[in-house]
Structure 1
Amino acid sequence: MARDGRAHVTLPAFLRTPRLRSAALPFAANGILYGTWASRIPEIQTRTGLSEGTLGLALLGLAVGLVVSAAAAGPLVARLGAHRVTLVALALFALAVVGPGLAVGLGSLAAVLVGLGLTSGLLDVSMNAWAAEVEAADGTTILGACHGSFSLGGMVGAGLGGAAAALGVPLALHFGACGLAFAGAALAQGLGVRAPAGAAPEADGDTPAVALPTGPVAGLAALAFCGLIVEGAMADWGAVFLREVLAASEAVAALGFAAFSACMAAARFGSDVATARVGDARLVRLGAALGAVGLAVCIVAPAVPLAVVGFGLVGLGFAAVVPALFRAASRAPLPPGVGIAAVAGAGYLGFLAGPPVIGFVAEASGLRTSFALLVALAGIVAAGSGAAFRRVRA
């Protein structure tokens, strides 16, 4: 039992009970589905005949759908309940994954990616709200392990996608089988699971149509914006940094993001123990500070091995940041899901807008300078965590 009275529930333990299992499985399914389609993007590009520029334009549809639905998901969760929306959103997202496998050109691909983004944002907000409700009702700390399940699912989905591509499995068959399987699983795993007492919809006439990052969650939203810029940059620029700054080969350059992802996934499964011992605010402060150190190591590293260590430190440091921010947002004096939606929307905006900004800075001043900007953002997260969490508690 933690000092605050909340029990830390390990991954095997919370998979044994239906309600706790229902909080974790949507994260894993989401990760598998996302990794499934993302792993075959090169084949989608070949099939549709798109250039890199036009593919980027199509992917913008995914970003637009994600940000829009994240902002609107909170009020929907408040009206209908987090568990109900999670089940529907997972089923819709699973079916939407089929779309990219059927696209034949820019227009059709952009359209199905908008749908993918809309369902993905709805699922992300609702499943985090549901996990937060279960945490509060059952006295557990599981959000970190839930996010770890997403990271692990992404690796599994990417591995399965690579195997399907190697075996020549058609896109439509691959995506269709995964989509139908998880759509059915979404409905099956929710049978018999009841929402915790007090977790019923609490929306009223004052519930906004769109969740905006204002009021008590404004500070959390700002931290999410900064933190997910760092995560987005690791995903999009990590391999480029190692290749261009340290002259790594293509194969070796991939080790940077691999170290970041593996360390983040592993640390998320242990972050609930750390949360129970030191609290969310201190964990975010320490984690962001460790992430800043890792980024600084990347900048000054004279060789690839030390830089890869730096990427791993960034993953360790930022592993608990998003789960902690979402947990705090769920406890804000707002209707269920609205706080998480506001913070998630700001975070997605940073995740999507950050990599292009890093690119512009890199083009003007070099990649080391752009990574110095990430150090500053990590410092902002560390310095601002105390005030942001106090504002929610107040």
Structure 2
Amino acid sequence: MAVGLVALAFAVAEGAGSNWVSVSVIGRHHVTATIGTLAYASFLTALTAGRWLGPAVLHRFGRVTVLRTAAAVAATGVALFAPGPSTGLAFAGSLLWGMGAALGFPVSMSTGADEPARAASRVSVITSIGYCGFVGGPPLIGFLGNRTTVGHALLVITVLMALSAVIAGTTRRSPDSRTQSGSDTQARTAVM
């Protein structure tokens, strides 16, 4: 299921950020743990802001546009962060990375719930695929980082974001689900 792959890509981006931002900043820039923690806090702040603003942005622009833009923002953030020659660029990159990673997983899950008759099975499949990214993404970055550097390994996320942007069209609401949810709403209104 392509929607599950979108969830997987964004889960890798979010999970890798949560696990590697502070470690990478401390290791590459030789800063204190406090600065590393602040870099991680900037990632989390952007992630939280993205989720707060998400419903309004989704309502205005739609899933596909939002996911493609989010993938581009996350990829840009990682591209700034990963080879970032300065701590300032690492902070800027972590902000963009967090903002971009914020909506991919939740939007993918809500896509699975579009068709009420199959919502439970679709959401469970998307969730299972997506959580593989949360669980497997950070160790994958560590494995690749041992062979190169963590900065280079993080660039895998840019590839995943590009792939998710390509298949983001699968999250588009089908005309059948709009009609079905509209008729469900009409039926509930008629009953009341």
Q: Give the corresponding residue for 1:81.
A: none
Give yes or no for the alignment of 1:227 onto 2:10.
yes
What residue is the counterpart of 1:382 in the other structure? Answer: 165
Q: What's 1:283 paired with?
A: 66
Q: Residues of 2 paired with 1:227 and 1:330: CA distance?
A: 18
Q: CA deviation at 1:279?
A: 0.3
Aligned to 2:119, what secondary structure does the other structure show?
A: coil
Write out the 4+ residue segments of structure 1 that deviate beyond 6 Å after TM superposition: none
Paired AA for residue 351 in structure 1: F
The within-5 A match list for 1:313-352 is: 313-332=96-115, 334-352=117-135
Distance 1:301 1:361 in 2: 18
| Alignment-mate amino acid for residue 167 of structure 2 | G
Structure 1 contact 256–307 (Cα < 8 Å) conserved = yes
Structure 2 matches for 1:126-275, cutoff 5 A? 218-275=1-58
Q: Distance in 2 between matches of 1:334 and 1:243?
A: 49
Count of residues in Structure 1 that have an aligned counterpart in Structure 2: 175
Matches of 1:260 and 1:334, distance apart in 2 = 37
How far is 1:336 from its partner? 3.2
TM-score, structure 1 length as denominator?
0.43
TM-score when scaled to structure 2?
0.85
Cα distance in 1 for residues equivalent to 2:67 and 2:117? 22
Check the 8 A contact 2:8/2:105 in 1, yes or no.
Answer: no
Partner of 2:146: 363
Whole-Å Cα distance in 2 between the matches of residues 234 and 368 of structure 1? 12
Cα distance in 1 for partners of 2:36, 2:141 equals: 18
Q: Which residue of 2 aligns with 1:133?
A: none
Structure 2 gaps, min length 5? 176-192
Residue 393 (structure 1) aligned to one of 159, 169, 174: 174
The equivalent of 1:38 in structure 2 is none
Cα deviation 1:103-129 (Å, max 9, x = unaligned): xxxxxxxxxxxxxxxxxxxxxxxxxxx
Q: Is the 8 A contact 1:226 1:378 kept in 2?
A: yes
Match of 1:300, SS? Answer: coil
Query: Do the aligned residues in 2 keep the contact of 1:221 with 1:342 (CA within 8 Å)?
Result: yes
Offset, 1:323: 2.1
Structure 2 residue identity aligned to 1:293: T
Deviations 1:173-230 (A, max 9, x none): xxxxxxxxxxxxxxxxxxxxxxxxxxxxxxxxxxxxxxxxxxxxx0110111111011
User: 1:393 is matched by which residue type in structure 2?
Assistant: S
Q: Partners of 1:383 and 1:245 in 2: how far apart? A: 32
Matches for 1:287-306 after TM superposition, within 5 Å: 287-306=70-89
Letter aligned with residue 54 of structure 2: S
Q: 1:367 to 1:308 in 2, by over 3 A?
A: same
Provide the C-alpha distance between the structure 2 equivalents of 1:294 and 1:275, rounded to a whole number of angstroms.
21
Please list every run of 5 or more consecutive structure 1 residues that lacks an aligned counterpart in the other structure.
Answer: 1-217
Q: Distance in 1 between matches of 2:6 and 2:115?
A: 15
Q: Distance in 2 between matches of 1:350 and 1:224?
A: 8
Of structures 1 and 2, the larger Rg is shown by 1
Deviation at 1:309, TM superposition (A): 1.2
SS at match of 1:242: helix
Q: RCO higher in 1 or 2 (8 Å CA, sep ≥ 6)?
A: 2
Structure 1: which amino acid aligns with 2:92? V
Whether the 8 Å CA contact 1:260–1:312 is kept in 2: the answer is yes
Contact 2:112 2:119 in 1 (8 A): no
Shift in Å, 1:334:
4.7
CA distance in 1: counterparts of 2:3 and 2:145, whole angstroms: 28
- Rounded Cα–Cα distance in structure 1 between residues aligned with 2:113 and 2:33: 41
Deviation readout 1:111-149 (Å, 9 max, x if unpaired): xxxxxxxxxxxxxxxxxxxxxxxxxxxxxxxxxxxxxxx
